Structure 1
Amino acid sequence: MNRPALHRIALGLALTTLAACRTVGPDYAVPAGSAFQRPEANAAFLDTGNAQVAAGAALPARWWELYQDDTLNALVQQALRDNVELKVADANLRRAAAVYEQALDAGGFEYEAEAGVSRAQLSAESFLLEHELPPINLADGKFAVSYQFDLFGKLKRASEAAHADEQSVAAALDLARVSLVAQVAGSYVDICHANHELHVAEHSLQLQQRSREVTQRLITAGRGTPPELARANAQVAMLQAGLPPLRAHRQASEYQLAALLGRTPGQLPEGVSDCSQAPTLAQALPIGDGRALLQRRPDIRQAERKLAAATARIGVATAELYPDIRLGASVGAAGLLEDFGTPLTQQWSIGPLISWTLPSSGTHARIHATEAGADAALAEFDHSVLQALRETQTALSRYAQDLQRLQFLQQAQQQADLAASQNRRLYQGGRTPYLASLDADRSLASADATLAEAQAQVSRDQIQLFLVLGGGWNADAVAAGTAAR
Structure 2
Amino acid sequence: MRNALALLPLAALAACTVGPNYAGPASAGAAKPPANFVRVADATAPAAPTVALWWTGLGDATLDELERRALAANPNVQIAEARLKQARASLRLERANELPSGNAQATYLHAQLPGINLGQSSGGGGGGSTSLDFYNLGFDASWEIDLFGGQRRKIEAARASIGAAEANVADAQVSLTAEVAQNYVNLRDRQQRIVLAQEAAAQQRELLRLTEQRYGAGTASALDVERLRGLVEQSDAAILPLNAERDAYLNALATLAGEAPGALDTLLSPARAVPLPPAEVAVGDPAALLQRRPDIRAADRQLAAATAKIGAAEAAKFPRISFMGLIGIGGSKPGDIFDLDKISALAAPQLSWNFLDFGRNAARVGQAEGARDEAAAQYRGAVLNALKDAEDSLSRYAARRQTVANAARSLATAERSAKLMRQRFDAGTATMIDVLDAERQRTSAQQTLSQSTAAMTADYVAIQKALGLGWAAP
Both structures adopt the same fold (TM-score exceeding 0.5): yes
Please say if residues 318 and 353 of structure 2, whose CA atoms lie closer than 8 Å, have aligned partners that are also in contact. Answer: yes
Consecutive unaligned residues of structure 2, counting only runs of 5 or more, are: 119-125
Residue number among 63, 78, 84 corresponding to 2:69 in the alignment: 78
Please say if residues 182 and 464 of structure 1, whose CA atoms lie closer than 8 Å, have aligned partners that are also in contact. Answer: yes
SS at match of 1:347: strand
AA at the equivalent of 2:5:
G
Deviations 1:259-296 (A, max 9, x none): 01111111106332213212223431111232222211
Cα pair distance change 1:17/1:316, threshold 3 Å: same
C-alpha distance in 2 between matches for 1:352 and 1:42: 59
C-alpha distance in 2 between matches for 1:347 and 1:124: 29
C-alpha distance in 2 between matches for 1:326 and 1:283: 67
Q: Which residue of 2 aligns with 1:392?
A: 390
C-alpha distance in 1 between matches for 2:431 and 2:199: 23
Q: Which residue of 1 aligns with 2:27?
A: 34
Question: What fraction of aligned residue pairs are identical, expressed as a percent?
Answer: 31
Q: Which residue of 1 aligns with 2:196?
A: 200
Measured after TM superposition, the shift of residue 43 of structure 1 is 4.2
Q: Please, which moves more after superposition, 301-310 or 115-124?
A: 115-124
AA at the equivalent of 2:134:
L
Q: Which residue of 1 aligns with 2:39?
A: 47
C-alpha distance in 2 between matches for 1:253 and 1:142: 66
Q: Which residue of 2 aligns with 1:295?
A: 291
Please say if residues 410 and 451 of structure 1, whose CA atoms lie closer than 8 Å, have aligned partners that are also in contact. Answer: yes
Q: Which residue of 2 aligns with 1:274?
A: 270
Please show how residues 450-469 of structure 1 align to structure 2 within 5 Å: 450-469=448-467
Measured after TM superposition, the shift of residue 153 of structure 1 is 0.5
C-alpha distance in 2 between matches for 1:198 and 1:355: 77
**Alignment pair present for 1:106 and 2:97:** yes
SS at match of 2:316: helix
Residue number among 4, 8, 11 corresponding to 1:18 in the alignment: 11
Measured after TM superposition, the shift of residue 108 of structure 1 is 2.0
Deviations 1:340-386 (A, max 9, x none): 35587432122422232225201101001101110110000010011
Please show how residues 59-98 of structure 1 align to structure 2 within 5 Å: 59-98=50-89
Q: Which residue of 2 aligns with 1:346?
A: 343
Measured after TM superposition, the shift of residue 136 of structure 1 is 1.6
Cα pair distance change 1:126/1:445, threshold 3 Å: farther
Cα pair distance change 1:443/1:338, threshold 3 Å: closer
**Alignment pair present for 1:245 and 2:241:** yes
C-alpha distance in 2 between matches for 1:460 and 1:115: 68
Measured after TM superposition, the shift of residue 235 of structure 1 is 2.2
Measured after TM superposition, the shift of residue 229 of structure 1 is 2.2
C-alpha distance in 1 between matches for 2:372 and 2:184: 42
Measured after TM superposition, the shift of residue 172 of structure 1 is 1.1
C-alpha distance in 1 between matches for 2:223 and 2:134: 113
Q: Which residue of 1 aligns with 2:328?
A: 332
Please say if residues 113 and 143 of structure 1, whose CA atoms lie closer than 8 Å, have aligned partners that are also in contact. Answer: yes
Q: Which residue of 2 aligns with 1:447?
A: 445
Q: Which residue of 1 aligns with 2:123?
A: none
Please say if residues 258 and 267 of structure 1, whose CA atoms lie closer than 8 Å, have aligned partners that are also in contact. Answer: yes
Q: Which residue of 2 aligns with 1:416?
A: 414
Cα pair distance change 1:359/1:277, threshold 3 Å: farther
C-alpha distance in 1 between matches for 2:233 and 2:449: 21
C-alpha distance in 2 between matches for 1:40 and 1:119: 74
Deviations 1:317-355 (A, max 9, x none): 001011221233322135422673558743212242223
Deviations 1:42-93 (A, max 9, x none): 7463331342x21333233210111222211111111111212222222221
Measured after TM superposition, the shift of residue 221 of structure 1 is 3.9
SS at match of 2:270: coil
Q: Which residue of 2 aligns with 1:370?
A: 368
Number of corresponding residues: 465
Please say if residues 137 and 328 of structure 2, whose CA atoms lie closer than 8 Å, have aligned partners that are also in contact. Answer: yes
Measured after TM superposition, the shift of residue 415 of structure 1 is 2.4
C-alpha distance in 1 between matches for 2:49 and 2:334: 80
Q: Please, which moves more after superposition, 283-292 or 306-315?
A: 283-292
**Alignment pair present for 1:358 and 2:338:** no
Q: Which residue of 1 aligns with 2:121?
A: none
Please say if residues 59 and 471 of structure 1, whose CA atoms lie closer than 8 Å, have aligned partners that are also in contact. Answer: yes
C-alpha distance in 2 between matches for 1:99 and 1:229: 76
Q: Please, which moves more after superposition, 103-112 or 55-64?
A: 55-64
Cα pair distance change 1:118/1:429, threshold 3 Å: same
Measured after TM superposition, the shift of residue 436 of structure 1 is 7.9
Measured after TM superposition, the shift of residue 412 of structure 1 is 2.2
Q: Please, which moves more after superposition, 229-238 or 387-396?
A: 229-238
C-alpha distance in 1 between matches for 2:35 and 2:291: 13
Please show how residues 138-153 of structure 1 align to structure 2 within 5 Å: 138-153=134-149
Measured after TM superposition, the shift of residue 240 of structure 1 is 1.6
Deviations 1:168-219 (A, max 9, x none): 1121111111111111122222221111111121222222222223323333
Which runs of structure 1 show a deviation greater than 6 angstroms over 4 or more consecutive aligned residues? 424-439
Please say if residues 42 and 289 of structure 1, whose CA atoms lie closer than 8 Å, have aligned partners that are also in contact. Answer: no
SS at match of 1:308: helix
Measured after TM superposition, the shift of residue 20 of structure 1 is 4.0
AA at the equivalent of 1:18:
A
Deviations 1:125-160 (A, max 9, x none): 799xx8344112112232223332111111110111
Q: Please, which moves more after superposition, 241-250 or 115-124?
A: 115-124
Cα pair distance change 1:448/1:119, threshold 3 Å: same
C-alpha distance in 2 between matches for 1:278 and 1:416: 21
C-alpha distance in 2 between matches for 1:18 and 1:319: 16
Measured after TM superposition, the shift of residue 298 of structure 1 is 1.0
Please say if residues 320 and 359 of structure 1, whose CA atoms lie closer than 8 Å, have aligned partners that are also in contact. Answer: no
Q: Which residue of 2 aligns with 1:406?
A: 404
TM (norm. structure 1) is: 0.87
Q: Please, which moves more after superposition, 436-445 or 81-90?
A: 436-445
C-alpha distance in 1 between matches for 2:465 and 2:438: 40
C-alpha distance in 2 between matches for 1:312 and 1:123: 58
Measured after TM superposition, the shift of residue 99 of structure 1 is 1.2
Measured after TM superposition, the shift of residue 234 of structure 1 is 2.3
Cα pair distance change 1:423/1:315, threshold 3 Å: same
